[in-house]
Protein backbone atom coordinates (compact mmCIF):
# COMPACT_ATOMS: atom_id res chain seq x y z
CA UNK A 1 0.00 0.00 0.00
CA UNK A 2 2.80 2.43 0.93
CA UNK A 3 4.60 1.67 -2.34
CA UNK A 4 1.46 2.49 -4.35
CA UNK A 5 1.05 5.75 -2.46
CA UNK A 6 4.66 6.73 -3.12
CA UNK A 7 4.30 5.96 -6.84
CA UNK A 8 1.10 7.97 -7.01
CA UNK A 9 2.75 10.99 -5.37
CA UNK A 10 5.69 10.80 -7.77
CA UNK A 11 3.25 10.73 -10.71
CA UNK A 12 1.41 13.80 -9.40
CA UNK A 13 4.70 15.69 -8.97
CA UNK A 14 5.73 14.91 -12.54
CA UNK A 15 2.41 16.11 -13.97
CA UNK A 16 2.34 19.33 -11.97
CA UNK A 17 5.94 20.06 -12.93
CA UNK A 18 4.99 20.27 -16.60
CA UNK A 19 4.31 23.70 -18.05
CA UNK A 20 0.53 23.73 -18.58
CA UNK A 21 0.80 26.27 -21.40
CA UNK A 22 3.11 23.99 -23.37
CA UNK A 23 0.74 21.07 -22.89
CA UNK A 24 -2.23 23.14 -24.04
CA UNK A 25 -0.33 24.48 -27.08
CA UNK A 26 0.58 20.99 -28.20
CA UNK A 27 -3.00 19.80 -27.81
CA UNK A 28 -4.27 22.80 -29.77
CA UNK A 29 -1.73 22.20 -32.50
CA UNK A 30 -2.82 18.59 -32.83
CA UNK A 31 -6.48 19.54 -33.08
CA UNK A 32 -5.76 22.15 -35.74
CA UNK A 33 -3.70 19.69 -37.75
CA UNK A 34 -6.43 17.05 -37.59
CA UNK A 35 -8.99 19.63 -38.70
CA UNK A 36 -6.82 20.64 -41.66
CA UNK A 37 -6.20 17.06 -42.73
CA UNK A 38 -9.89 16.27 -42.52
CA UNK A 39 -10.56 18.62 -45.44
CA UNK A 40 -7.95 17.20 -47.81
CA UNK A 41 -8.97 13.98 -49.54
CA UNK A 42 -6.44 11.88 -51.38
CA UNK A 43 -8.17 9.28 -53.49
CA UNK A 44 -8.14 7.89 -56.98
CA UNK A 45 -10.80 9.84 -58.86
CA UNK A 46 -12.42 9.07 -62.18
CA UNK A 47 -14.02 12.33 -63.23
CA UNK A 48 -14.05 14.05 -66.60
CA UNK A 49 -13.61 17.80 -66.77
CA UNK A 50 -13.03 20.75 -69.04
CA UNK A 51 -9.95 22.84 -68.29
CA UNK A 52 -9.40 26.44 -69.33
CA UNK A 53 -6.05 28.18 -68.93
CA UNK A 54 -5.62 31.97 -69.28
CA UNK A 55 -3.85 33.29 -72.35
CA UNK A 56 -0.79 34.31 -70.34
CA UNK A 57 -0.62 31.07 -68.36
CA UNK A 58 2.89 30.34 -69.67
CA UNK A 59 4.20 33.38 -67.81
CA UNK A 60 4.88 31.10 -64.85
CA UNK A 61 2.91 33.18 -62.34
CA UNK A 62 0.27 31.62 -60.11
CA UNK A 63 -3.35 32.07 -61.13
CA UNK A 64 -6.67 31.97 -59.29
CA UNK A 65 -8.71 28.79 -59.79
CA UNK A 66 -12.46 28.79 -60.36
CA UNK A 67 -14.35 25.52 -59.92
CA UNK A 68 -17.60 25.56 -61.93
CA UNK A 69 -20.35 23.06 -61.06
CA UNK A 70 -23.12 22.47 -63.59
CA UNK A 71 -26.73 21.54 -62.91
CA UNK A 72 -28.54 18.19 -63.06
CA UNK A 73 -29.32 18.46 -66.78
CA UNK A 74 -25.64 18.31 -67.77
CA UNK A 75 -24.78 15.05 -66.00
CA UNK A 76 -23.50 12.08 -68.00
CA UNK A 77 -20.48 11.14 -70.13
CA UNK A 78 -20.67 13.79 -72.87
CA UNK A 79 -18.48 16.72 -71.87
CA UNK A 80 -20.14 18.90 -74.49
CA UNK A 81 -23.17 19.03 -72.20
CA UNK A 82 -21.09 20.96 -69.66
CA UNK A 83 -20.72 23.77 -72.20
CA UNK A 84 -24.47 24.39 -72.15
CA UNK A 85 -24.42 26.99 -69.36
CA UNK A 86 -22.17 29.16 -67.25
CA UNK A 87 -18.44 29.64 -67.61
CA UNK A 88 -17.87 26.77 -70.10
CA UNK A 89 -20.53 28.27 -72.38
CA UNK A 90 -18.86 31.68 -72.30
CA UNK A 91 -15.43 30.14 -72.90
CA UNK A 92 -16.82 28.21 -75.87
CA UNK A 93 -18.12 31.51 -77.24
CA UNK A 94 -14.60 32.96 -77.05
CA UNK A 95 -14.58 34.81 -73.74
CA UNK A 96 -11.21 35.19 -72.03
CA UNK A 97 -10.84 34.93 -68.27
CA UNK A 98 -7.82 35.91 -66.15
CA UNK A 99 -8.05 32.72 -64.11
CA UNK A 100 -7.99 28.95 -64.47
CA UNK A 101 -11.43 27.37 -64.87
CA UNK A 102 -12.10 23.70 -64.17
CA UNK A 103 -15.56 22.37 -65.08
CA UNK A 104 -16.04 18.73 -64.03
CA UNK A 105 -18.95 16.58 -65.15
CA UNK A 106 -21.12 14.78 -62.62
CA UNK A 107 -22.12 11.17 -63.49
CA UNK A 108 -25.74 10.31 -64.21
CA UNK A 109 -28.27 9.80 -61.42
CA UNK A 110 -26.09 11.16 -58.61
CA UNK A 111 -25.33 14.56 -57.13
CA UNK A 112 -21.91 16.13 -56.68
CA UNK A 113 -19.45 14.08 -54.62
CA UNK A 114 -17.68 16.76 -52.59
CA UNK A 115 -14.77 14.51 -51.62
CA UNK A 116 -14.09 13.76 -55.28
CA UNK A 117 -14.23 17.47 -56.08
CA UNK A 118 -11.75 18.28 -53.31
CA UNK A 119 -9.44 15.57 -54.62
CA UNK A 120 -9.72 17.07 -58.10
CA UNK A 121 -8.78 20.52 -56.80
CA UNK A 122 -5.81 19.04 -54.92
CA UNK A 123 -4.68 17.25 -58.07
CA UNK A 124 -4.85 20.47 -60.10
CA UNK A 125 -2.90 22.33 -57.44
CA UNK A 126 -0.13 19.77 -57.81
CA UNK A 127 -0.12 19.98 -61.62
CA UNK A 128 -0.85 23.64 -62.35
CA UNK A 129 0.27 27.09 -61.23
CA UNK A 130 -2.60 27.66 -58.81
CA UNK A 131 -2.73 30.47 -56.28
CA UNK A 132 -4.08 28.56 -53.27
CA UNK A 133 -5.17 31.78 -51.60
CA UNK A 134 -7.56 32.48 -54.48
CA UNK A 135 -9.66 29.39 -55.02
CA UNK A 136 -13.27 30.16 -55.92
CA UNK A 137 -16.39 28.01 -56.40
CA UNK A 138 -19.55 28.69 -58.34
CA UNK A 139 -22.41 26.54 -59.56
CA UNK A 140 -26.02 26.57 -60.66
CA UNK A 141 -29.01 24.60 -59.33
CA UNK A 142 -27.55 21.19 -58.38
CA UNK A 143 -24.17 22.89 -58.78
CA UNK A 144 -25.37 25.62 -56.45
CA UNK A 145 -26.07 22.91 -53.90
CA UNK A 146 -22.57 21.51 -54.48
CA UNK A 147 -21.16 25.00 -53.93
CA UNK A 148 -22.96 25.46 -50.59
CA UNK A 149 -21.82 21.99 -49.46
CA UNK A 150 -18.18 22.55 -50.43
CA UNK A 151 -17.85 25.85 -48.63
CA UNK A 152 -19.35 24.19 -45.57
CA UNK A 153 -16.79 21.36 -45.74
CA UNK A 154 -13.60 23.24 -46.66
CA UNK A 155 -14.25 26.87 -45.70
CA UNK A 156 -10.62 27.51 -44.82
CA UNK A 157 -9.56 26.78 -48.41
CA UNK A 158 -12.14 28.84 -50.31
CA UNK A 159 -11.72 32.58 -50.78
CA UNK A 160 -15.16 33.22 -52.31
CA UNK A 161 -18.22 31.47 -53.71
CA UNK A 162 -21.12 32.30 -56.02
CA UNK A 163 -23.98 29.81 -55.55
CA UNK A 164 -26.87 30.31 -58.00
CA UNK A 165 -30.41 28.99 -57.38
CA UNK A 166 -29.05 26.29 -55.08
CA UNK A 167 -29.87 24.90 -51.67
CA UNK A 168 -27.89 23.66 -48.68
CA UNK A 169 -27.81 22.63 -45.03
CA UNK A 170 -28.63 25.48 -42.66
CA UNK A 171 -27.14 23.54 -39.76
CA UNK A 172 -23.73 23.34 -41.48
CA UNK A 173 -23.55 26.69 -43.25
CA UNK A 174 -22.10 28.62 -40.30
CA UNK A 175 -18.88 26.71 -40.98
CA UNK A 176 -18.58 29.05 -43.99
CA UNK A 177 -19.04 32.28 -42.01
CA UNK A 178 -15.60 33.54 -43.12
CA UNK A 179 -16.07 32.73 -46.82
CA UNK A 180 -17.09 35.66 -49.03
CA UNK A 181 -20.40 34.66 -50.62
CA UNK A 182 -22.58 36.29 -53.26
CA UNK A 183 -25.72 34.26 -53.87
CA UNK A 184 -28.29 34.67 -56.66
CA UNK A 185 -31.84 33.38 -57.10
CA UNK A 186 -34.98 34.08 -59.12
CA UNK A 187 -38.01 35.10 -57.07
CA UNK A 188 -40.34 33.05 -59.32
CA UNK A 189 -38.22 29.87 -59.20
CA UNK A 190 -40.55 26.87 -58.81
CA UNK A 191 -37.78 24.24 -59.20
CA UNK A 192 -35.69 25.42 -56.26
CA UNK A 193 -37.72 28.02 -54.35
CA UNK A 194 -35.94 31.24 -53.45
CA UNK A 195 -36.61 30.42 -49.79
CA UNK A 196 -33.90 27.72 -50.05
CA UNK A 197 -31.23 30.39 -50.51
CA UNK A 198 -32.89 32.90 -48.20
CA UNK A 199 -32.73 30.40 -45.33
CA UNK A 200 -28.97 30.01 -45.76
CA UNK A 201 -28.39 33.76 -46.04
CA UNK A 202 -30.43 34.39 -42.89
CA UNK A 203 -28.49 31.72 -41.04
CA UNK A 204 -25.17 33.21 -42.18
CA UNK A 205 -26.23 36.66 -41.00
CA UNK A 206 -27.12 35.13 -37.64
CA UNK A 207 -23.60 33.72 -37.28
CA UNK A 208 -21.91 36.90 -38.61
CA UNK A 209 -21.16 35.50 -42.05
CA UNK A 210 -20.02 37.49 -45.09
CA UNK A 211 -22.88 36.96 -47.53
CA UNK A 212 -24.59 39.07 -50.18
CA UNK A 213 -27.85 38.04 -51.84
CA UNK A 214 -29.31 39.21 -55.14
CA UNK A 215 -32.91 38.25 -55.97
CA UNK A 216 -34.18 38.69 -59.51
CA UNK A 217 -37.84 39.64 -59.09
CA UNK A 218 -38.94 38.57 -62.57
CA UNK A 219 -36.85 35.44 -63.10
CA UNK A 220 -37.68 31.79 -62.52
CA UNK A 221 -35.13 28.94 -62.33
CA UNK A 222 -32.74 30.32 -64.94
CA UNK A 223 -31.08 32.97 -62.84
CA UNK A 224 -27.63 31.88 -64.02
CA UNK A 225 -27.54 33.28 -67.57
CA UNK A 226 -27.83 36.91 -66.47
CA UNK A 227 -25.49 36.29 -63.54
CA UNK A 228 -22.63 34.76 -65.51
CA UNK A 229 -22.93 37.53 -68.13
CA UNK A 230 -22.39 40.14 -65.42
CA UNK A 231 -18.75 41.28 -65.41
CA UNK A 232 -19.12 42.57 -61.86
CA UNK A 233 -19.17 39.06 -60.39
CA UNK A 234 -15.71 38.33 -61.78
CA UNK A 235 -14.35 41.62 -60.50
CA UNK A 236 -15.88 40.78 -57.12
CA UNK A 237 -14.31 37.30 -57.13
CA UNK A 238 -10.84 38.51 -57.97
CA UNK A 239 -10.90 40.96 -55.07
CA UNK A 240 -11.20 38.08 -52.60
CA UNK A 241 -8.21 36.30 -51.16
CA UNK A 242 -7.44 34.20 -48.11
CA UNK A 243 -5.33 35.77 -45.35
Is 12 among the domain residues?
Answer: no
Number of domains the chain contains: 1
* Domain-embedded: residue 196: yes
Q: What percent of the chain shows pLDDT beyond 70?
A: 81
Domain that residue 62 falls in: 47-238
Which whole-number Å values give the CA distances from 40 to 43, 90, 202, in the listed order? 10, 30, 29
CATH, residue 77: 3.40.50.1820
Structural domain includes residue 132: yes
Please report whether residue 24 resides in a domain: no
What is the arithmetic mean of pLDDT over 211-240? 98
- Band (pLDDT 50/70/90 cuts) for residue 101 is very high
Domain-located, residue 3: no
pLDDT in tens, 139-188: 999 999 999 999 999 999 999 999 999 999 999 999 999 999 999 999 99
Task: Give pLDDT tens digits for 190-225.
Answer: 999 999 999 999 999 999 999 999 999 999 999 999
Instruction: Please check the confidence at residue 97 and state whether its pLDDT lies above 80.
Output: yes
> pLDDT at position 46, please?
79
Q: Is residue 17, in this structure, part of any structural domain at all? A: no
Query: What pLDDT is recorded for position 79?
Result: 97
Please give the share of the chain, as a percent, with pLDDT higher than 90: 81
Q: Is residue 29 part of a domain?
A: no
User: Is residue 95 a part of any domain in this protein?
Assistant: yes
Amino acid sequence: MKLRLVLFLIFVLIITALNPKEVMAQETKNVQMESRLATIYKQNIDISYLLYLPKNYESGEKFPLVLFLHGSGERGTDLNLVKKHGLPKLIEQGKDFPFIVVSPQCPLNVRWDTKALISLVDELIEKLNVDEKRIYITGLSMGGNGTWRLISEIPERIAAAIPICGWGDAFEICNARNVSIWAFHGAKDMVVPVAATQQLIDRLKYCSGKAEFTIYDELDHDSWTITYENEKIYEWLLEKTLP
